[in-house]
Structure 1
Amino acid sequence: MRTAILVTMRRRYADLVRLAYLALDDGTTPPETVLATARRAVRHSARAGPGASYSHLRRRLTLELLTQPPHLRRPLLRRLLFEPAATAATPLRTILQRSSPHERLVYLLIRLEGLTSPEVAAELGEHLLVSAWDIDRTCADLDDRTDLDPAAQQAELQAFDPTLVRLRPPPSLPMTARIALVLAAVVLIASGSTAYERWRNAGRPGDPITVGDDRWNRHAVPSLDDWPTQGELRGDRALLRRAASAWRDDRRDPPLGRVSIMYAGTVDGVTIVVMHDTPGTRDSPMVAQYFERPLSRGVESIRRLGNDSGQLIMLGTTWRYLVPPWLSDLSVALPKAPTPAWHPIKVRDGVSDPLNWRWFNPDCQSYVVFRMRHKGTGSISQFASHNPEFATPLIWFRDPDPARDDTGFTGDPAQWTAIHALSCGAGIALAEAGDLRIGRLWSGSLPDKGGHASLISIDVSVPWGTPGMTALISDEGRLMADRGSTNGDYSASTDTLAGAVWWRSQKRWHLLATAGPGIASLKMVGELGNQEARRKGEATRLFVAGPPSRGRYPQAGGLPVVQIVVYEPDGDHAVISPN
């Protein structure tokens, strides 16, 4: 129906406007105002009801003119820019202008539209008390005022075209004045646009925080709060407000405290905003990523950080990472390789180039290893996943000398073996871990021709105070036994660290316990009796042969109950279990 009305309007629009114009023209209103009002009445009649024929549209137009007489206004903009074509009023139009609105409408339906008196009476009778005799008398009265016959009157009315409107001619100004006006208009438009952008990007209460570029340089070891806002869209306040509002509306993990922007820009054709909250000391911060695509927008990943020092953050699934400015000289390697093959990665405006791999080996928990240089702590290493919601733990190797700080990967083959064991050998679930500290408690040959192996300690920073673990790994990075325990945690001293683990050879179970140079002795108590080992040189080691590997003890969980007592030189002691 709507399509049929539009087709009829396109064909007979000029006829409807002519009827409305002549019915509204009283001779005192400017022609452009009458024309604008007539066009508005025609549009309203087209939306008034069903019926797509010209007769239906004309009937609704006459009802519009009868029941809702349009207010004749003279719009300022139309008066300034437009004026009607110069058309002198004919005697017939002058006679119509001096008639009443109802007389004009009746006359036009008879002479212009060619209806009969009964048809006009039927069309107007619903809203106007008029008979066919009244209509004949009105037409006869108007006929007496003109010397034209009915056919000539109809021809003159149909020849009138009210839609002729043209632009008002420009004022006759000198060229210098015209140039000045054009320049003034350009300045006005530019200043208005600038003012709008300033208003749009002006700060408001509750806006997300943006951090300056030089704030991180003021601290020896920058934290997450010092991460500068990077990206070409960091000044788009409207975008930043949308991103922060979308995160606050998240029902599962809304932010705590103020929202701070880390990055806002376009990556691979997608608008991305990365932000973190500020929970204070009561909780670890969270990082959220907001995306705007042609068909979707919203927060797509939220991850809780293990600490507030800042970590590499993968942007969606772009294979690019967000990198803080205090990290430099990035290179990446796959942990599944027997030896590391480092690939340099460039960083531009806080975003790295995409990695060379499009999928990480699932056998290694879908993690890669980054090596980089930190402004305050030197060389560091870090696990990073292709899943932006997974943790990206830093990897620290405990230095045997307690006077020296822990380091990242230094090229030691034993360090790479430990990295391979943690990611590919199921040494620990990296997605749930905080920063890692790895120490080597012992390295040597296992009994019963078990080959060469290393006993390492594994400590996590989150939750703080989590007891340490031990893992026995081969030189290829294979986990050789269930994890045991240590007497320390993430912050424990290296020289007083001790650990124990059960290992099974082809013949029997063995208990392996070792400690650093700060331990005076290790003592085993429990179902296997009591045995003690005192410090020799720089280490204390206790190897105890257990029950046969076949028979009562098929698994480590069913082994005899034993405990290792760790004694320090001053008499303090701690108890650990190899299970």
Structure 2
Amino acid sequence: MQSQDAARHPAPSSPAGPVVDVEQAEAALVEHYPRLVRLAYLVLPSGMGRGRRVLTAHSLTQRALPRARTPAPVIPSQPAGRDGDPGYALVRLQVVRTALEAGLPLRRRAWPRRAQLPPLLPQVWGLKLFPRPGGADELALDQRLSALSGPARAAYVLRGLERLPDGDVREVLTAAGVTDADAALDEAGRVPDEYRLLDSPEFDPCSLQARPTDLLRRRRHLNATLVAGAALAVCGALLGPAGDGRGPDGAAAPPYAQNPAARAALDPGKLTRVSPTAWKTSARVDFSVWPARGDLTGDRALLRRALTVWARPGGSVRVSATPGTPSGGPAGPPQLLYAGTVDNARVVILHDGLRIARYAEPVDGARGAALDFARVDGAGRAGAGAVVLGRTDGNVRYLTAPWVRGAGERDLREPDSAATDLTLTDGVTPPLPSPALKPGPCTSWRVLQLADGTGTRLVTDLGELVPARLTAGRPGTDGTSVGAWAPFACSLSAMRSAGVRSVNVWAFAEQPLPDASGSAVWACTRAETWRGGGARVLAQFHTPGGRSGAVTAKAEDVPACGAREPRVLAGVLWKSGAGAWYLLAAGSRDTASVRATGGVEGSARGHLLTVRAERGARADLKGTLKDGRSISGLR
């Protein structure tokens, strides 16, 4: 466990890493500010109250900047998107260290540390701020975390939120002044690993609700407050320094206007512009080699507005981000991919290496502007084939990659129909019906087909900035088949707005049906996300003559049906044409036997199981693989 002296006088044991400039640390803090504040909020003890906990988390994060060039500890950043960033590792370590200090009790004979005092800034008058409430699972997890010691709570959060292995967690805790990191890890291990809940709005101190403070008390103190405010205003007028020339319409407020790197990020003249032929000779074929296209690439006023809104969106700007995507300003000048008129809007598409940012404003003015973000780190040739330019009247327009030679539209529900060729204008498609925006029952699912000289790929709009790629076949084979998707296309609606990178469908078994009813097809669809975690898996069952498959099981954050674990087992209660009920179960081809227990008992050798059952019965499925390992039914 952590002693109070250790937290008050930390002695990092990690060897010194690269020297981090203040600007580099600030860029990392601004870029990942929401995650760092969430980290601080989770490490702080819940006993201080949600309101003070929110303000303290923001205060500790904003004070995490070093005062001068500082060696970063040799501790890796969080794997998904921050690996190798010494600036992020440095500010994260400072956030953990001060959050642990803030949770220590005050000593009667010692001066309190700064982190133990109520935050001077930020302050909110007249309102109580607290995160949006979650569900029963989040409440239970918060109660479990509150029972842990500060170091154990930090260990749990570093494991779950930062996805660090235990060795790296040990390094962070030791550098933060924890004297017994192993004990903290052991204590944290006694809490169930419900890490997905750490991303819940319950623990997001950047998305807050407001309620008034004590109104009667405020009324009694109103006169005193007015007098004090008047005195401060007079003093400020007499003693305040002269202005620096920035008007109310300045491009950015601090820290952006003060940081040279951030000032450069607001300059349209410093935007990165790539040659139209760069992709032909580049070792990397992704968004980094897209040229700047569109009829407004020379409109400096539009580009400046887009950059300024990205750095400091106003209250009237609609901001959205796919799950796991930070929405902070750019750390440096981003790359311009597109600036042009799309239907009734002016649109700017920017890329900063981690994210795609889309700024859109009405043609008749900047009111009603929108700013959207999507993660695209690790996108290769297949994942960087297109981005969404805009959606209007149920239609979507795409901007395709410069290496796309041809595009077409086709309906997954009609695999025998040919693709309709599309005319690309400077890489922009005509408006296409968007399945993500279509109301009512699913009668069709229209997708974009792209040909780039190395193959044909399918992508679909799932309501986000980057379309999801569709593949078919055993996980890892990366095949494309419209026919494989036909019965299961409508299940894609369950993948909307989840930050999906790709979806694969795999028909893993074919099972003869009782009572001479033909054969059914078992398939699983797996949606991988840009952030790595949060993969969604559906098991589906398709009977002869059926228009669509029926979803029999859902799971999230499981390896089944994926490249790491290309195995799956699923079951369903099915009623034959003769009125009899059966438990049908199927595993992938490498399943040696299947057994059902609980409400239905039965077993079978091989990867298929058929057992008579009662209507409404429930059963647990277990399978044994040919290599002797066990597998559980997807549920």
**2:622 aligned residue:** 564
Equivalent residue for 2:540, pick from 471, 489, 508? 471
**2:409 aligned residue:** 332
- Structure 1 residue 264: Cα displacement: 0.8
Matches within 5 A, 1:287-436: 287-297=357-367, 299-305=369-375, 308=379, 309-318=383-392, 319-337=396-414, 339-355=416-432, 360=438, 362-364=440-442, 368-374=446-452, 378-384=455-461, 389=464, 392-399=467-474, 405-409=477-481, 413-419=483-489, 421-423=490-492, 428-432=494-498, 433-436=500-503
**1:516 aligned residue:** 588
Matches within 5 A, 1:54-73: none
SS in 2 for 1:352: coil
Aligned-pair Cα RMSD in Å: 3.5
**1:273 aligned residue:** 348
Cα 1:565/1:297, change in 2 over 3 Å: same
The Cα offsets for residues 403-460 of structure 1, whole Å up to 9 and x where unpaired, read as: xx32223x5x3432333x424xx6x333434310110012354324655432111111
Cα 1:211/1:299, change in 2 over 3 Å: farther
Tell me the amino acid that sits aligned with residue 313 of structure 2.
D
Q: Distance in 1 between matches of 2:559 and 2:587?
A: 10
The Cα offsets for residues 131-183 of structure 1, whole Å up to 9 and x where unpaired, read as: xxxxxxxxxxxxxxxxxxxxxxxxxxxxxxxxxxxxxxxxxxxxxxxxxxxxx
Q: Distance in 1 between matches of 2:426 and 2:612?
A: 59
Contact kept? 1:330, 1:370, Cα under 8 Å: yes
Contact kept? 1:499, 1:514, Cα under 8 Å: yes
Tell me the amino acid that sits aligned with residue 383 of structure 1.
T
1:490 aligned to 2:562? yes
SS in 2 for 1:205: helix
- Structure 1 residue 500: Cα displacement: 0.7
Equivalent residue for 1:240, pick from 287, 298, 303? 303
Q: Distance in 1 between matches of 2:386 and 2:309?
A: 23
Q: Distance in 1 between matches of 2:564 and 2:391?
A: 37
- Structure 1 residue 394: Cα displacement: 0.9
Equivalent residue for 1:438, pick from 505, 513, 527? 505
Larger Rg belongs to: 1
SS in 2 for 1:239: helix
Tell me the amino acid that sits aligned with residue 349 of structure 1.
D
**2:572 aligned residue:** 502
Contact kept? 1:221, 1:375, Cα under 8 Å: no
Contact kept? 2:522, 2:539, Cα under 8 Å: yes
Q: Distance in 2 between matches of 1:244 and 1:310?
A: 22
Cα 1:354/1:471, change in 2 over 3 Å: same
The Cα offsets for residues 80-108 of structure 1, whole Å up to 9 and x where unpaired, read as: xxxxxxxxxxxxxxxxxxxxxxxxxxxxx
Cα 1:522/1:374, change in 2 over 3 Å: farther
Q: Distance in 2 between matches of 1:366 and 1:337?
A: 8
The Cα offsets for residues 33-52 of structure 1, whole Å up to 9 and x where unpaired, read as: xxxxxxxxxxxxxxxxxxxx
- Structure 1 residue 478: Cα displacement: 1.9
Contact kept? 2:511, 2:586, Cα under 8 Å: no
Contact kept? 1:273, 1:289, Cα under 8 Å: yes
Equivalent residue for 2:264, pick from 205, 209, 226? 205
Identical residues among aligned pairs (%): 20
- Structure 1 residue 373: Cα displacement: 1.8
Q: Distance in 2 between matches of 1:364 and 1:256?
A: 39
Aligned length: 342
Tell me the amino acid that sits aligned with residue 331 of structure 1.
G
Contact kept? 1:467, 1:489, Cα under 8 Å: no
What are the ranges of 5 or more consecutive residues in structure 2 without an aligned counterpart? 1-261, 320-326
Matches within 5 A, 1:123-272: 205-206=264-265, 207=267, 208-219=271-282, 222-250=285-313, 252=319, 253-255=327-329, 257-258=331-332, 259-268=334-343, 270-272=345-347
Q: Distance in 2 between matches of 1:365 and 1:250?
A: 39
Tell me the amino acid that sits aligned with residue 541 of structure 1.
L
- Structure 1 residue 334: Cα displacement: 3.5
Q: Distance in 2 between matches of 1:572 and 1:212?
A: 53
Q: Distance in 2 between matches of 1:477 and 1:221?
A: 42
SS in 2 for 1:230: coil
- Structure 1 residue 299: Cα displacement: 3.7
- Structure 1 residue 330: Cα displacement: 0.9
Cα 1:361/1:304, change in 2 over 3 Å: same
Q: Distance in 2 between matches of 1:454 and 1:519?
A: 16
Q: Distance in 2 between matches of 1:245 and 1:365?
A: 43
Contact kept? 2:594, 2:621, Cα under 8 Å: no
Q: Distance in 2 between matches of 1:436 and 1:356?
A: 20
SS in 2 for 1:210: coil
SS in 2 for 1:514: strand
Contact kept? 2:336, 2:349, Cα under 8 Å: yes
SS in 2 for 1:351: coil
Tell me the amino acid that sits aligned with residue 621 of structure 2.
Q
- Structure 1 residue 356: Cα displacement: 7.5
- Structure 1 residue 278: Cα displacement: 3.5
Q: Distance in 1 between matches of 2:434 and 2:526?
A: 30
Cα 1:301/1:513, change in 2 over 3 Å: farther
**2:66 aligned residue:** none
- Structure 1 residue 355: Cα displacement: 3.4
Contact kept? 1:440, 1:455, Cα under 8 Å: yes
Q: Distance in 2 between matches of 1:361 and 1:384?
A: 14
- Structure 1 residue 263: Cα displacement: 0.5
Contact kept? 1:502, 1:509, Cα under 8 Å: no
Q: Distance in 1 between matches of 2:347 and 2:401?
A: 16
SS in 2 for 1:240: helix
- Structure 1 residue 566: Cα displacement: 3.3
Answer 1 or 2: higher relative contact order, Cα 8 Å, separation at least 6. Answer: 2
SS in 1 for 2:285: coil
**1:36 aligned residue:** none
Cα 1:414/1:503, change in 2 over 3 Å: farther
Contact kept? 2:310, 2:328, Cα under 8 Å: yes
Q: Distance in 1 between matches of 2:349 and 2:444?
A: 22
Cα 1:544/1:478, change in 2 over 3 Å: same
Cα 1:483/1:491, change in 2 over 3 Å: same
Tell me the amino acid that sits aligned with residue 264 of structure 2.
P
- Structure 1 residue 484: Cα displacement: 5.2
Contact kept? 1:276, 1:287, Cα under 8 Å: yes
Contact kept? 2:495, 2:527, Cα under 8 Å: no
Q: Distance in 2 between matches of 1:262 and 1:227?
A: 6
